[in-house]
Structure 1
Amino acid sequence: MSEQTILSQDLSRRSKADEFSNVIEKARTAHQSYIIKQQTKDLENAIEYYIDAIRIDGRVSEPYYRLASLMYEKGQISLDTAIDQCKTAITLEPENVNAHIYMGYFLSMADNFKDAQKEFSLAIKSAHLNSARPRLFLSNIIRQEMLAEGKTFVGMFKYLYYLVSGSMLLFCDKAAIKMMVQSLVDNISVFSYKTIGETFERAKLFNNAYKTYSEAMEKTKHGEIFYKKMGDLSVNGQDMMSAYHCYRKALEETPYNREVLIKMATLLQTSFPDRVDEAIDYYNRLLEFNIDNDKIYYELGHLYMRKNDRLNSVQAFKLALRYDENNPYYNNSLAYSFVRAELYDDAIEYYQRAIKLNPDAKWTSIVCHALGAVYGEVKGNFDAAEATFQAGLVLDSENYDLLLSLGDLMMVKRDLDRAIRAYCDGIKACPDNFMAYAKAGLALWEKDYVEEAVISFHKSIDLNPNFEISQNNLGVVYLDGLTAPDEALGYFLRAVELNPNYTLAYFNAARSYQALGENKQAAEYYQMALDLNKITEELNENDIKTRLHELFE
């Protein structure tokens, strides 16, 4: 072999060694940063660099046991595979302390305490004064073994020996000291920025706090902490889009930060109604923590209802009830999801359960209203509907909506006196709401209480001049009750102005014009009513045609 060839090979080896040293140092830096900051980006970078190191030189043990730890933590390999990688590392370098420590750690996770103790003992033998970490690990393994198999005098002695000796030697362990110093410096920096930012927040100097957290994020690279802080400030300032971007950045750093996931899911649910699928995705990620799953399924049920996904909304509320079957709110929501799915018998069952649990009188009164509506409007069981409405009013006698529904039910049953009484009770409960006056006016009119009906409709219009039905109905009272077509016409025309598709108002305006002898305008409005009725089907078409023909006889 020539001297030139030997020189070329030597340079190639040096270049390869330099490349390996550069890559392994990058891997160590990313790994240490991940241990301190727990950021996904550092984890991924460390894995990538360790893999590159093995490609460059597969004879060094360090990348194997480091990769075993990182890839197992990320869920990319099984526990058995991690153990196999540590075996490879030990085969390459039998005296490598860290290889034995990692092997002992994974064996302990597999509940193989005997072999784990052997690995830590080998690490202690090789490390000498730098054996603080394997001694502390070994003491913990002995403690776990005693918890599983029972305490012994020898076990307690060995546990205390390794615990005390490991603690005493901790300050001789250079790797441990280095990591502690780096962590301490990092913690002090984070603490300082958090203290300054929170001081600005307490002083209501929110812009200064935001700038402080932004600078902290750049300086410390702890995006998972400071992006969350910036997101919280944005929420308080009602800048929801900024909050969304900040929380998203925080989750890029630590995808499974439960606190930020909750904030993001809640933000999307409350402030971004068009991003339902994204909110569902974040809630599903929260389920992986197996914490408060009933609450998460409850929120998912509402999100699926927003999507009109009836099947999944029912399933989500059912799952919530598996965790807490006596939760009245879960029962009520499941009942409502059954109504949406048109499964009314199931809805009745769960509404009844919610009512029976009765956590609050006013809330339960509202549930009675919902159940009564199912009985009356769907099942046609008016007696059951009335009984349920009355039960709700016992719980809350001022439930305005329930009083109006009771009045409507009495109108259907043609019990006008009780309908009027229910509407009047509604007026007492909420005297500034126009609807009770409008409904009372109609009941009074049907009872032939003309003057009282006029007063009630006028009050409804005073409270809401844009409610076209009261305008039309007051016109009917003037036209048919008081024989005042000129007075009635103004209300019909106002109703048409408010709702150009109001067929009945056109028809009544035509009747007023006809009563006033203005047949041309009457014909015009009858024709408009006839045309609209083909779409709305509010009136009897033959009745309109007959009146139209009568104008020209």
Structure 2
Amino acid sequence: MQLSNEEEDYNLSLSKFESMLKTNKVLFFDSEEFEEIILHYLDMGKAALAKKALKLALDQHPKSTGLKLVQVEMLVFDDKLDIAERLLNELYAIEPTNEEIFIQKANIYSKRDQHEKAVEFLKTALEYTDDYADVYNLIGMEYLFMDNLEMAKQNFIKCLEEDFDDQSALYNVVYCFEFLDQNLDAIAYLNKYIDKNPYSEIAWHQMGRLYYGVKDYENAIRAFDYATLIDDEFLGAFMEKAKAFERLNKYDEAIESYKRTIELDDATSYALLRIGKCYEKLGNKIQAIKYYNDTVHEDPLLDKGWIAITDFYVRQKDFQKALFYVNKALAIDNQNRLYWKRYASINKQMNFFEEAEFGYRKAVEFGDHSLDTWLFWVDTLQFLGEFESAIQTLLQASEYFPEENEVEYRLAGLYFMIQDNTKAKFHLSNALRLNFDNYILLEDMFPVVWKKKMVQNYIAKHKKE
């Protein structure tokens, strides 16, 4: 590829400068050449070389405003804000209409978290600049720092009116619309933007995301299609399109789009997992399990992969294989509550109640405090005849669910089982108050208790009240 004259000059300047450093010969560069060299090193993260170039530059061009502004930028970068501000004041006395002075002043105040003051300086910069887009973008960023999303949005829109190709401003304006929960307004804005700039794959992609967000999946796919037509290697658009196809139950099309992402880049565990899910929805069990296995091979730490395989075999009622895979998952991460809950429920299905109880206990220990987990655990303890442990577990659960009738009915039943009638009546009274009609729980779970005349009378009395 042939380089432009500007690029050739730029590369020559860099080579000449680096040659000078090696030979210790002092060569002459004009001030603009120095600016480009310094900014190049800053962009590369080579601060020491940038400072060395700046020192040589100021030795050769001590009165260059451009170089002094670069010096200010470096001082701000090093958090030497007071020195930078003094230098800017000196420059202002020489060039009071130089917009870069006001931009750097704004940068200093932004670093001090004085964003309103920064906006004032940027508005002054607008009076002198030719690059309105850049200044509007900077104002937008300051309003973002102040959490004023409406003003940020307006300035990013002004930036795009000046420069349609500013992709960061386009992303930011959509972010503001979304944060303000103005998805439909954002779609309307992007439609206008696309009328003027129809080949912006970013705009089409963002529109697709917004349509997806409002559950208009057909229009989302149409937008993603345009994005991928403009850029047939737009991985993100293919991924989003696949998700939209899934929402419409168009699993073949979803698989095609997910596979395209794998062609464009290394396979991701997410794409492999989704392909597996799609194949399972299509009833293709062989391909489904193949992709689930590929998922955990790609990322053994992804719990969703192990859960997908385990749940697949549970749905097939192949509990031996389901248990095999959940044990493999636990060997990798034995503190994952999702794995422990599945371990428990699979063992319960296989009538291994002691293992099931252990699994539920571990799931709760590692943070699963959902009601059904507590109740499954308690019911397993009850089945094992461990009434006291079941009561203690329910009392723990009641701290999370203080007004839950299912907890209260179980406590009542268990207290009756251990002949503590006072506490049993207390919890039965609570349960009947919370949900009278659910007293059938006692009949289902505690048939011995249900047959007690005392219990029948207590329920009948409560009904009359």
- Which residue of structure 2 aligns with residue 257 of structure 1? 163
Q: Which secondary structure does the structure 2 equivalent of 1:197 belong to?
A: helix
Aligned-pair CA distance for 1:404: 1.3
| In 2: Cα distance, 1:324 partner to 1:259 partner | 16
Larger radius of gyration: 1
| In 1: Cα distance, 2:255 partner to 2:438 partner | 39
Contact 1:247–1:264 (Cα < 8 Å) also in 2: no
- Which residue of structure 2 aligns with residue 201 of structure 1? 107
- Which residue of structure 1 aligns with residue 363 of structure 2? 460
More off after superposition, 279-288 vs 253-262:
253-262
| In 2: Cα distance, 1:281 partner to 1:245 partner | 18
Say yes or no: does 1:409 pair with 2:312: yes
- Which residue of structure 1 aligns with residue 154 of structure 2? 248
Contact 1:335–1:350 (Cα < 8 Å) also in 2: yes
Aligned-pair CA distance for 1:488: 0.8
Contact 2:136–2:155 (Cα < 8 Å) also in 1: yes
Q: What letter matches 1:231 in structure 2? A: G
Aligned-pair CA distance for 1:389: 0.6
* TM-score, length-scaled by structure 2: 0.62
Aligned positions of 1:440-459 closer than 5 A: 440-459=343-362
Aligned-pair CA distance for 1:474: 2.0
Question: 1:527–1:348: structure 2 CA closer, same or farther, 3 Å change rule?
Answer: farther
Q: What letter matches 1:488 in structure 2? A: A
Fraction of identical pairs, as percent: 18
Contact 2:201–2:231 (Cα < 8 Å) also in 1: yes
Say yes or no: does 1:484 pair with 2:386: yes
Q: What letter matches 2:255 in structure 1? A: I
Q: Which secondary structure does the structure 1 equivalent of 2:148 belong to?
A: helix
Say yes or no: does 1:231 pair with 2:137: no
| In 2: Cα distance, 1:388 partner to 1:543 partner | 42
Aligned-pair CA distance for 1:359: 1.4
Aligned-pair CA distance for 1:479: 1.0
Question: 1:269–1:472: structure 2 CA closer, same or farther, 3 Å change rule?
Answer: same
Aligned-pair CA distance for 1:495: 4.0
| In 1: Cα distance, 2:438 partner to 2:264 partner | 48
| In 1: Cα distance, 2:216 partner to 2:96 partner | 45
Aligned-pair CA distance for 1:459: 2.6
Aligned residues: 353
Q: What letter matches 1:468 in structure 2? A: L
Question: 1:249–1:532: structure 2 CA closer, same or farther, 3 Å change rule?
Answer: farther
- Which residue of structure 2 aligns with residue 142 of structure 1? none
- Which residue of structure 2 aligns with residue 304 of structure 1? 211
Question: 1:310–1:467: structure 2 CA closer, same or farther, 3 Å change rule?
Answer: same
Question: 1:348–1:527: structure 2 CA closer, same or farther, 3 Å change rule?
Answer: farther
- Which residue of structure 2 aligns with residue 214 of structure 1? 123
Say yes or no: does 1:472 pair with 2:375: yes
Say yes or no: does 1:375 pair with 2:279: yes
More off after superposition, 329-338 vs 257-266:
257-266
- Which residue of structure 2 aligns with residue 360 of structure 1? 266
- Which residue of structure 1 aligns with residue 451 of structure 2? 550
Q: What letter matches 1:311 in structure 2? A: E
| In 2: Cα distance, 1:240 partner to 1:524 partner | 47
Q: Which secondary structure does the structure 2 equivalent of 1:240 belong to?
A: coil
Aligned-pair CA distance for 1:480: 0.8
| In 1: Cα distance, 2:390 partner to 2:190 partner | 57
| In 1: Cα distance, 2:160 partner to 2:203 partner | 20
| In 2: Cα distance, 1:256 partner to 1:197 partner | 18
Aligned positions of 1:329-340 closer than 5 A: 329-340=236-247
Aligned partner of 1:436 among 314, 325, 339: 339
Q: Which secondary structure does the structure 2 equivalent of 1:287 belong to?
A: helix
More off after superposition, 541-550 vs 449-458:
541-550
Q: Which secondary structure does the structure 2 equivalent of 1:258 belong to?
A: coil
Aligned-pair CA distance for 1:544: 7.5
Question: 1:201–1:328: structure 2 CA closer, same or farther, 3 Å change rule?
Answer: closer
Residue deviations 1:242-288, cap 9 Å, x none?
5x415515745973532568525534436615111232233333324
| In 2: Cα distance, 1:209 partner to 1:408 partner | 55
Aligned-pair CA distance for 1:344: 3.2
Residue deviations 1:318-357, cap 9 Å, x none?
22222234544333322211222233343334334444x1
Q: What letter matches 1:489 in structure 2? A: I
Aligned-pair CA distance for 1:314: 1.8
Task: Give the RMSD, CA atoms, in angstroms.
Answer: 4.0
Contact 1:526–1:544 (Cα < 8 Å) also in 2: no
Aligned positions of 1:35-434 closer than 5 A: 192-198=98-104, 201=107, 204-205=111-112, 207=114, 209-217=118-126, 226-235=135-144, 238-241=145-148, 244-249=150-155, 251=157, 255-258=161-164, 263=169, 265-269=171-175, 272=179, 274-290=181-197, 293-355=200-262, 357=263, 359-361=265-267, 363=268, 365-376=269-280, 378-434=281-337
- Which residue of structure 2 aligns with residue 96 of structure 1? none
Contact 1:372–1:388 (Cα < 8 Å) also in 2: yes
| In 2: Cα distance, 1:412 partner to 1:509 partner | 33
Contact 1:501–1:532 (Cα < 8 Å) also in 2: no
Contact 1:530–1:545 (Cα < 8 Å) also in 2: no
Question: 1:310–1:443: structure 2 CA closer, same or farther, 3 Å change rule?
Answer: same
| In 2: Cα distance, 1:228 partner to 1:345 partner | 42
| In 1: Cα distance, 2:442 partner to 2:234 partner | 52
| In 1: Cα distance, 2:445 partner to 2:360 partner | 26
Say yes or no: does 1:531 pair with 2:440: no
Question: 1:471–1:543: structure 2 CA closer, same or farther, 3 Å change rule?
Answer: closer
Contact 2:122–2:139 (Cα < 8 Å) also in 1: yes
Residue deviations 1:296-336, cap 9 Å, x none?
22221111111111221121122222223454433332221
Contact 1:523–1:551 (Cα < 8 Å) also in 2: no
Contact 1:317–1:333 (Cα < 8 Å) also in 2: yes
Aligned-pair CA distance for 1:485: 1.7
Aligned-pair CA distance for 1:372: 2.2
Contact 2:394–2:411 (Cα < 8 Å) also in 1: yes
Contact 2:275–2:288 (Cα < 8 Å) also in 1: yes
